[in-house]
């Protein structure tokens, strides 16, 4: 293809996105679009799957059958989100094995929030309420992103995320209506999860390298700082309603802006966790790699079975041909 032809294709491509048309896997797309989408969708898929670990830790210890059923359903939803997203990513021409390899070797990232430990039952409340709450804010705009398989997967994912958020908030409500010990446990969980949840919305706009291009492709509709502000403005009244105190002495309603002002985020901590030095990075990777290695015999058996089936089919069609001739 000549350079001019490629330029024409690129222009047509950008025009389609501007018209809000969906880009489908077999459509022509610039290489950079494909690579950026593989990176973002796979990071998202890895986050869903690694994100099962902190909560999976509490399934056997949920305080009642009702709580256990809800938590189990929530964690299973996350597995489902991972599967839709890996499938969407594969349509861009990368295999599932390659994607797993990138995660297991540390080449691919996942959301740094999942590198924090879940030490009490209240953490299940805080995670659903705050982490899934922040995820919704990040993900709702993606229902309108330009890549068709990603946008369609996000519609269902977002519906389930809103159940997760309510499930978590309900745990917090219950604890805040309980004994002093339960109230303290809820407050302690908020104290530990608040700041990492704010970090989850990504580095500040000044440090975010992909924002401009992603806005063009509708992979992003709002900047990280805008999303963070939206999350804070929405969450603070929810905390106040049930008597929780946001652990930020600088948090103050700003009449003029119609938004909350808030304190400095510890970005050094964020980058440390991203680089692999969070409290649970090693354990999370150990669990994922262990699951992959432990599942090897299942994959081998499935492959052997499908090869056998294939052989049988070939034999049958060969003998059928013989009979006919
Ligand atoms: Fe999810
Ligand atoms: Fe979720």
- Give the pLDDT confidence of 158-191 residue by residue, as tens digits: 999 999 999 999 999 999 999 999 999 999 999 9
Give the pair of three-digit tokens for residue 146.
Answer: 């330009």
Q: How many CB atoms lie within 10 A of CB 33?
A: 22
CA gap 62, 66 in Å, rounded: 9
Per-chain residues with Cβ under 5 A from ion ligand 2 = 132, 161, 164
What number is the average pLDDT over the span 100-122? 96
Confidence check: pLDDT of 219 > 90: no
Which band of pLDDT confidence, cut at 50, 70 and 90, is reported for residue 321?
A: confident
Q: Is the pLDDT of residue 315 over 80?
A: yes
| pLDDT band for position 127 (cuts 50, 70, 90) | very high
What is residue 93's predicted lDDT score, i.e. its pLDDT?
Answer: 96
How far is C-alpha 184 from the chain's CA centre?
Answer: 29
Which residue in the block uniquely carries the two structure tokens 């299942």?
Answer: 298
Quick one: angle between helices 180-199 and 132-139, nearest 10? 30
The structure's pTM equals: 0.92
Residue 8 predicted with pLDDT over 90 = yes
| Ligand 2 mean position, distance from CA 73 (Å) | 10
pLDDT on residue 71:
97
Tokens of 279: 């409290």
CA 37–ligand 2 middle distance (angstroms): 21
**What distance in angstroms lies between residue 161's CA and the mean position of ligand 2's atoms?**
4
Q: What is the pLDDT of residues 51-75, one digit of tens each?
A: 999 999 999 999 999 999 999 999 9
> CATH top-level class for 3-264?
mainly alpha
Q: Strand (E) positions, the chain?
A: 252-254, 259-261
Nearest ligand atom owner, CA of 47? 1
Helix H or strand E encompassing 252:
strand 252-254
């Amino acid at each position: 293809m000549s350079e001019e032809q490629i330029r024409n294709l690129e222009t047509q491509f950008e025009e389609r996105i501007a018209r809000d048309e969906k880009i489908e896997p077999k459509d022509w797309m610039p290489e950079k679009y494909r690579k950026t989408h593989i990176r973002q969708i796979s990071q998202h898929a890895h986050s869903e799957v690694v994100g099962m670990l902190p909560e999976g830790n509490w399934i056997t210890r949920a305080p009642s059958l009702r709580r256990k059923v809800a938590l189990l359903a929530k964690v299973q939803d996350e597995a489902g989100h991972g599967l839709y997203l890996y499938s969407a990513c594969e349509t861009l021409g990368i295999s599932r094995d390659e994607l797993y390899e990138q995660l297991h070797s540390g080449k691919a990232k996942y959301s740094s929030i999942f590198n924090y430990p879940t030490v009490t039952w209240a953490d299940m409340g805080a995670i659903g309420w705050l982490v899934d709450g922040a995820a919704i804010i990040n993900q709702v705009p993606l229902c309108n992103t330009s890549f068709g398989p990603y946008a369609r997967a996000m519609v269902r994912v977002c519906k389930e995320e809103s159940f997760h958020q309510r499930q978590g908030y309900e745990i917090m409500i219950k604890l805040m209506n309980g004994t002093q010990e339960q109230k303290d446990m809820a407050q302690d969980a908020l104290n530990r999860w608040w700041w990492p949840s704010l970090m989850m919305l990504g580095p500040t706009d000044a440090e975010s390298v992909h924002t401009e291009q992603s806005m063009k492709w509708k992979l992003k509709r709002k900047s990280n700082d805008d999303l963070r502000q939206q999350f804070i403005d929405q969450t603070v009244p929810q905390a106040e309603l049930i008597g929780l105190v946001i652990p930020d002495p600088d948090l103050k309603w700003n009449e003029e802006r119609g938004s909350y002002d808030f304190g400095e985020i510890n970005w050094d901590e964020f980058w440390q966790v991203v680089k692999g030095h969070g409290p649970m990075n090693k354990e999370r990777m150990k669990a994922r790699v262990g699951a992959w290695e432990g599942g090897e015999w299942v994959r081998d058996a499935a492959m052997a079975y499908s090869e056998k089936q294939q052989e049988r089919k070939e034999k049958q069609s060969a003998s059928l041909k013989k009979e006919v001739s």
